[in-house]
Structure 1
Amino acid sequence: MPVINVSFQVIPKVADECTYAVVDKAIEVVRKSGVKYEVGPMETTMEGELEPLLEIVKEAQQACVEAGASRVMTIIKIDYCPSGVTMEEKIGKYR
């Protein structure tokens, strides 16, 4: 299975003042997973194989619910190439 990129954004249904704290719980799931990732202002991008990355997204959604969200909308983007694709090849020149 090739290395791909999965970006996701969780939108938890919580009081406005709680939004960042709940999103932080989702990001914590990604951090603890050990995959390569980058947090952006609107989404988190991970690098790895598809199935494990999708499992991380599911766990991040559950973390939002456990942190008090009554509902979680999630937007997922997948960049798949049979030969693989990395974050570095996309944004390395901007660093």
Structure 2
Amino acid sequence: MNFMAKVNLSLQVLPVVPDSEIYYVVDQVIEMIKKTGLEYVVGPFETSIEGELDELLDIVKKAQTICIKHGAERVVSIVKIDYKEEGVTIHEKVSKYQ
């Protein structure tokens, strides 16, 4: 395989901050994801992103740093990865429901 296949990664960050600050901190992570230019979908529990595995894992690392920078004492992250050698897209998974 000569190219890096697109994969899907879903990220849920749970920053340990006061309740009144949770949305603000999570919004900072979503803004960082938006700036990557990758396809993404924000859901009520997690954000799903499509890209190459290495760049997606870098996003996970950056998300931790963003949460700490914005006041989290600790960050719990839940990550799901859908990987297959030929690639997988968000569109192929959800287009029939839209």
Q: Does 1:36 align with 2:7?
A: no
Q: CA deviation at 1:33?
A: 1.1
Q: Does 1:26 align with 2:29?
A: yes
Count of aligned positions: 95
Tell me which amino acid in the other structure corresponds to 1:36.
E
1:72 is aligned, of 72, 75, 95, to 75
Question: Following superposition, which runs of at least 4 residues in structure 1 exceed 6 angstroms of deviation?
Answer: none
1 CA distance for matches of 2:94 and 2:19?
32
1:92 is aligned, of 84, 87, 95, to 95
Deviation digits for residues 12-62 of structure 1, max 9, x if unmatched?
A: 000011111111111111011111111000000000100001101111111
1 CA distance for matches of 2:96 and 2:70?
37
- Give the equivalent residue in structure 2 for 1:49: 52
Residue identity over aligned pairs, in percent, reads: 53
1 CA distance for matches of 2:54 and 2:21?
30
- Give the equivalent residue in structure 2 for 1:13: 16
- TM-score normalised by the chain length of structure 2: 0.94
Tell me which amino acid in the other structure corresponds to 1:76.
V
Secondary structure of the corresponding residue to residue 52 of structure 1:
helix
- TM-score normalised by the chain length of structure 1: 0.97
